[in-house]
Amino acid sequence: MCSERKVRLGVIGSGKGSNFVALAQACRGGNLVAEVAVVLSDVAESGILKHAGGFDLPARFIEPGKFRTKLDDAAEASYVAALREARVDVVVLAGFMRILKGTFLSAFPGRVINIHPALLPSFPGLASWKQALDHGVKVTGCTVHWVDQGIDTGRIIAQQAVPVLEGDTAETLHERIQQAERVLYPQTIGDLIRRGTLKPAST
């Protein structure tokens, strides 16, 4: 009898949580053969934690420590401990606004992924949709990539193009990119699982 368990996702975010909702719905609906094991955030009042409660999933705020753009050593250890305690196989960054260092990444080698609202390597960093508008590009999009210690520099896994339309504002373009993200992220994680690139850590 095949009793292989589902891949367990640990989702980490700082913001409103629309990507998390898409992932949780895909897991519930069976389109993504995985389960959300835990949701963590560095922002106590974040939308992602509220949404996790709505799905009745374990969710925790964990203090990020004294830095603005990364976790301090103690915080990083707390995040790793919470993910291990939840027996997470894959760490899914969904709007987490801090850089992860080597100690975190080596706890989950080849198992940390992120989604970015541009066609990397163009427009890494903040407000990528605004960077795209300011440059006048005609096509932008979103990218799922492996996470390394740089800012949006990890190897690319999948991308979806989104056209920039005449009259787009930062808000309309951002919303269209996010709609694409909500399709691309669950689909890409599902593909990685089907191919066996992502699998339960113990198998």
Which phi and psi angles does 97 have, rounded to 5°? -95, 30
Binder of ligand GRF out of 9, 10, 11, 19 (CB under 6 A): 19
Side chain identity at residue 139, one-letter code:
V
Q: Is 135 a catalytic residue?
A: no
> Residues 154-175, buried b or exposed e (16+ Cβ, 10 A)?
beebbbbebebeeebeeeebbe
> For residues 13 and 64, which CB has a smaller minimum distance to ligand GRF in the complex?
13
Task: Check binding of 181 to ligand GRF (CB under 6 A).
Answer: yes
Q: How far is the CB of 4 from ligand GRF (least distance, A)?
A: 29
Choose one: 17-25, 32-40, 133-141, 163-171; the region binding ligand GRF (CB under 6 A): 17-25
Q: How far is the CB of 142 from ligand GRF (least distance, A)?
A: 6
Q: Which residue has 């589902």 as its token pair? A: 6
Choose one: 18-26, 27-35, 68-76, 153-161; the region binding ligand GRF (CB under 6 A): 18-26
CB 61 within 8 A of CB 12: no
Helix or strand or coil: residue 43? coil
Task: Check binding of 145 to ligand GRF (CB under 6 A).
Answer: no
Half-sphere exposure of 18 (CA within 13 A, CB side): 13
Q: Which residues make up the interface to ligand GRF (CB under 6 A)?
A: 13, 15-20, 48, 94-95, 115-117, 178, 181
Residues involved in catalysis: 116
